[in-house]
Amino acid sequence: MTSVSMTMPVGRQHVFDVLADGWLYVCWVVGASHIRDVDDKWPAEGTRLHHSVGVWPLMGHDVTVVRAVEPPAMLEMEAKLWPFGSARIRLDLKEIQPGRTEVTMTEHGMSGFGRLIPGPVESAVLVPRNRESLTRLCHLAVGRAKR
Distance CA(76)–CA(43), nearest Å, equals 10
Contact 139, 14 (CB under 8 A): no
> Which residues neighbour 55 within 8 Å (Cβ) at sequence distance 6 or greater?
33
Distance CA(19)–CA(103), nearest Å, equals 12
CATH class for domain 2-145? alpha beta
User: 31-64: per-residue pLDDT in tens?
Assistant: 899 999 999 999 999 999 999 988 888 888 889 9
Contact 88, 116 (CB under 8 A): no
| Domain parsing of the chain, residue ranges | 2-145
Tell me what the mean pLDDT of segment 119-141 comes to: 89
User: 79-100: per-residue pLDDT in tens?
Assistant: 987 667 889 999 999 999 999 9
Residue 78 pairs in a beta bridge with: 65, 88
User: 126-136: per-residue pLDDT in tens?
Assistant: 899 999 999 99
Closest CA to 77 of 144, 20, 11: 20
pLDDT value for 85: 81
Q: What percent of the chain has pLDDT over 70?
A: 95
Q: Which amino acid is at 25?
A: Y
**What is this structure's pTM?**
0.92
At residue 67, the 3 state secondary structure works out as strand
pLDDT value for 113: 67
